[in-house]
Every structure is written in structure tokens, then in C-alpha cells.
Amino acid sequence: MIDPVAGPGLRNKASMTFAQLATQLKPLQSDAAKRISMGVQFAKERFNPTGTDVTELPPKYRDLEAQVDRVKHLHESLLKLTVNYQKMHYDYQPALSETAKDVAASVREGWSSLIAGTPASPTGQGKEEIPPSLSHAFGRAARSASVGMEGQDPATVALTKFADSFDAVGEARLKMDAEITRQVHTPLQLTLNTTLAHAVKARRQVTMVRLNYDSARAKLKTAKPSQEEAARAEMEATEDAFVQAVDDAMNKMSAVVGSGEVLRSLTELVKAQLEFYKKAHEAMSELLPEMEELTLTSEALKGQVN
């Protein structure tokens, strides 16, 4: 309450403050009323779909929606698959005993160092890394088996060549993984987060604006004569906003549908796979005759001994 003795200056200042506050609150009140009307329209459409007048979207818009949904689903499916190329040894599941031994060795070393009062070695020092691929695992197994064998023995030579060839295949697979991540997964993720996301957001905006437009149309139908002019102006404004939102969404959806990003990504996937299988074929083609020859030599030598 304004003190009467405070004078007209203070009262005028207070009146201006209240007027400014009312001006600032007016848009918020209008926005709240709009949201309530949209909520009522949404509820009417949900619970009485046949008895509610709903503005139909253009057939081309509906067709673009269906196409965008298919493109989005394909992006999401491919991303779920290509993310595997970012995982080490996705084609080789290390035995539980390997990881358990690593943990046990680490705990044992730490405890021994604590008892002896000596600093523990850095984590991971002295222990073998888990092979990054199944081919690397085969290579390690063969190379480990050749340790301690005679260098010129056919079996030793065979194991060494086997290990070298499978290591080469493993390296080719790691290169393929990097290429697919760079040329396929990353571009698909970028498209999903930008072009597709913009189209989805524009579609949501169409739904909101359409609810507002239909709410304004319903209000005009039930408006009193004294309110009809204002209701009609509101309806026309929301109609313009609706048309603009539909055009914007169709442009964004057309950009998604017209993009060749998915086909380019699939082409890069084929290229990377082809290069890997080509390298693997070359390595195995060179290894096979050598393995066959060394096997015959080894059997012949054993026959001579017997």
C-alpha cells in the first residue's frame, strides 16, 4: 500500500512499476492461455477423434514423413552395427581365465610390493595385452608354440609363417575398422544429429502449430458476435503460421530424402570390406602352398627317422 504522505512522485513511480510488470506478464499470460487451448484441442482429438475437426496435412507431407521415418530407422540400424568396428577384438572374446589371471597377477604383485616395502611396477607392465582380433590371437598362439623349437625345423618355419600371415590379416582388419568408423559411422552419426534432427524438430513444430490453428478455428465457431472479429484475426494468424511451418518442415524433410548420404556410406563400407578381404585372400593364398609343402617335408623327415 502506498503511504499517502509519500507524495505523488512515489505513487506515480509505483504505478509505472506495476504497469511495466503487467506489460511483461501479458505475453506470458497469452502463452499460457495458448498452451491450455492446445492441450484442450489435443485431448479432444485423442478422446473423440471422429467428432473433432482436425486439419488434414497435405498428402505429399505425409509421404515425406513416411520416407524420413524409413531413412531415420536405417541410420539408427546402421549405427548400431557399425559401432562394433570401434570395439577392440569384437570378433574375439578373450577367455575369462585370461582377464582373471591379469587381475590376480596385479593383486599379487601389489600385495608383495606392499609387504616388501618396494614400489609396485606401473599397471600393466610385464603382462601381455589381449589380442585385438581373432587373427592376432591365432598369430600369438602359433608364435608362442614355436618358442624353443629348432629354427630350421619345418614345424617351426610353418608356425612362424602362419603367425606372420595371420598378424597381417589382423592388421588389415584393424585398418578396415578405422576406415569404416571414419567413412561410415561418423558421417551417419553426424547426419542423424543434424539434418535428420532438424527435420524431426520441424515436424514437431507442425504438430504444435496445427493444434493451435485448430484450436483457433474451434474458438471462432463458438465465438459470440462481439468476439468474432478478434477470434477471426487469431484464426487467420495461426493459419499463416501453420502454412509456414508445413512449408519449412517439407523443405527439411525433402533435404533428408534427397540426400545420398546413406548410399555413400554403404559404398564406403563395401570398399573397406573389399580391401580387407582382398588382403586376407592374398595372405592366405601365399600361406597355403607353403604350409602344404612344409607339412609334407615334416612328414617325410619323420618317416626317415622311423
pLDDT digits (tens, 9 = 90+) for 136-161: 999 999 999 988 887 688 889 999 99
Q: Is 92 left (phi over 0), alpha (psi -120 to 50) or beta?
A: beta
- Measured between alpha carbons, how far is 303 from 306 in angstroms, rounded to an integer? 5
- Return the percentage of the chain with pLDDT > 90, whole number: 53
Of residues 142 and 37, more confidently modeled: 142
- Residue 212 contacts residue 234 (beta carbons within 8 Å): no
Residues 6+ apart with CB under 8 A from 191: 75, 259, 261
Q: Would the CA dihedral through 33, 37, 38, 42 be positive or negative?
A: positive
> Is the pLDDT confidence value at 17 over 70?
no
> Is the pLDDT confidence value at 103 over 70?
no
> Is the pLDDT confidence value at 128 over 50?
yes
pLDDT digits (tens, 9 = 90+) for 39-64: 655 566 565 565 566 789 999 999 99
pTM: 0.73
- Segment 246-253 shows an average pLDDT of 97
> Is the pLDDT confidence value at 108 over 90?
no
- Return the percentage of the chain with pLDDT > 70, whole number: 70
Query: What amino acid is encoded at 154 in this protein?
Result: P
Q: Would the CA dihedral through 209, 210, 214, 220 be positive or negative?
A: positive
